[in-house]
Structure formats: C-alpha cells, structure tokens
Amino acid sequence: MRPWDDKVFWLGDEAGGFSVRDIKVKIAANAYIEPEFVFDWNHLVPMKVSFVGWWVVLDRLPTLVALAKKNIPVCSNLCPICGEFEESVEHIFISCGLAQSLWCVISQWCKMPEFFLFNFWDLLEVHKDSRLSSSKANILQVVYLIATWCLCKKRNDLVQSRVPI
C-alpha cells in the first residue's frame, strides 16, 4: 500500500464496512440513559410545592453557594437560618439544625422510626422506603414535600429581608 492510498474505515463494524443500519443500531443502543433520579410528582400538592423538589433534583435551586458560583454577588453565603455554615441544598434541607428538628418532629408525628438523611434524594424517597400502604406513603410524601417548601419559603424570606451592604 502506497502512503497516498488513503482508505476510510468504519470502526463501528469489525469488517470495516459502513452501513446506515449500523449507525441506527448504535444510536438506539445509547439513546436512553437511565437517569440517576426521577422526581416523583404528587398530584395532591400544589405545583409550587413540587417545583422546589424538582428544582433541587435538576440542581436549579438558587442557593447562596450556587449564586456565588455563578458570580452573582451575595452579601454572605452563610445559611440565613443558622448563620453557621455555607448555604447549599444539603445544608438547607438536611444538615441545618432547623431541618433536622423538622424531620425529627415529622417522623414522630407520623409515628415512624427516626431516619437518617444523607442527601436530598434520601428525603425525596423517605415515603418509598417506609412500610406503609401506597395511600399512606402518598400522604407521607405530601407532608415531606410541603415541609420542604416551607423550609425553602422560610429561607427565601430571610434572604430577601437581608439588607445589602
């Protein structure tokens, strides 16, 4: 073979032959990627309540840390509720003292064993892990979604009441 005798090979086929069918098969095989987490919508809560959970799943909740990463000026990225740690999604809904107290009170109120949350996804799946009937699990999800929305609303009220420096 002379150096100027270039040849085109299709690497998708072992024989090197190209076909549209091969491309179609390869695209179909890779077209569907299982999402890591799918938000479980609940028709019993208003959309504005569900949107908080959905925004978190999409990583779109404008926490102070997220805003600072996007070079949007913020007075402080500390949690407006406790003022001790940076305000991230995990902090607002999982590790902040108010959130931990809220989940503890809710688990007692619902007569459920206390559970440990490591991230927001754990919170969104509490109702799935419980040994409740589907209707009770649905109501439990409503309670957690509304509590999540209340936490977010409290956080928003505090952030918006800050006086910019």
Q: Using CB under 5 A, list all residues that contact Zn ion.
A: 79, 81-82, 96
Q: Which is nearer to Zn ion, 102 or 124 (CB)?
A: 102
CB of 122 to Zn ion, least distance (A): 18
Q: 88 or 141, CB closer to Zn ion?
A: 88
| Three-class secondary structure of residue 19 per DSSP | coil
Q: CA–CA separation, 23 vs 80, rounded Å?
A: 53
Report the nearest approach of Zn ion to the CB of residue 81 (Å): 4
Give buried/exposed letters for 130-152 (b at 16+ CB in 10 A, else e): beeeeeebebbbbebbbbbbebb
Contact 65, 87 (CB under 8 A): yes
> Cα–Cα distance between 150 and 158 in angstroms, integer?
12
CA-to-CA separations, 62 to 17, 41, 48, 72, 151, in angstroms, rounded: 50, 21, 15, 10, 14
Q: How far is the CB of 95 from Zn ion (least distance, A)?
A: 7
Shortest distance in whole angstroms from residue 85 CB to Zn ion: 6
Instruction: Give whichever of 65 and 81 is closer to Zn ion, judged by the CB atom.
Output: 81
- Cβ 158 to Zn ion, closest distance in Å? 10
Would you say 87 or 141 has its CB closer to Zn ion?
A: 87
Neighbouring residues of 16: CB distance < 8 A, sequence distance ≥ 6: 9, 10
- When the beta carbons of 46 and 62 are compared against Zn ion, the nearer one is 62
